[in-house]
Amino acid sequence: MNALVFASWESTVSDSFGRTAGRSKVAADDKSPVLRFGPAHRHGQRPSLVVSFESSAMGAWVGEFLPGSTGFSQILPHPDGRTVIVVSCGLAYQVDPQRASILGTFGGAIESAVADTSTGQLSLAANSRLWLIDQRGISWRSPPVAQDNDCENESFQSGCDGY
């Protein structure tokens, strides 16, 4: 059985960068339209993250964000001050709350996020990859980093020492 997890992001958005990208309210009996985002093959693995948005252009709407492969979920303001990053069990979605649309996805195994208010940047980390997001979008992403278990793979053996 796939449970739905409801989240409110209003306080997170206004706290992280000192500005509010939108307002959110969640009600169990909400009659707002529900839009499902994410790869269909992931549905049913883990509970979806459900977020209720309210925009001047679309009114109230609810997004159901299908999960990635970790236990990390968080809703963060994008440094552009207009959009929001929704991380659902490791899979990140850049959401335009005013248009009820997804501008992009990345990750899948994200485990943490840090907002740097002094630079206005957001960092997201997976076990073997990092993303740095600024006002323009993803400004830098690391190449995948080989892990200890990759040393068993022939293509990595010459460069791995187990550390």
> Who's near 94: CB < 8 A, 6+ residues apart?
78, 83, 84, 85, 102, 103, 104, 105, 137
pLDDT of 29 above 60: no
Instruction: Provide the residue ranges of all domains of the chain, joining segments of one domain with +.
Output: 4-105
* 107-142: pLDDT as tens digits: 999 999 999 989 999 999 998 899 999 999 999 999
- Count of beta carbons in the 10 Å neighbourhood of residue 28: 5
* 51-101: pLDDT as tens digits: 988 888 878 888 999 999 999 999 999 999 999 999 999 999 999 999 999
Q: Structure tokens of 157?
A: 């053996």
Mean pLDDT, residues 34-55 = 72
- pLDDT bin (cut points 50, 70, 90) of residue 149 is low
User: What's the pLDDT at 93?
Assistant: 96
Q: Structure tokens of 9?
A: 């992001």
d(CA 105, CA 109): 12
Which residues on adjacent β-strands are paired with residue 163? none
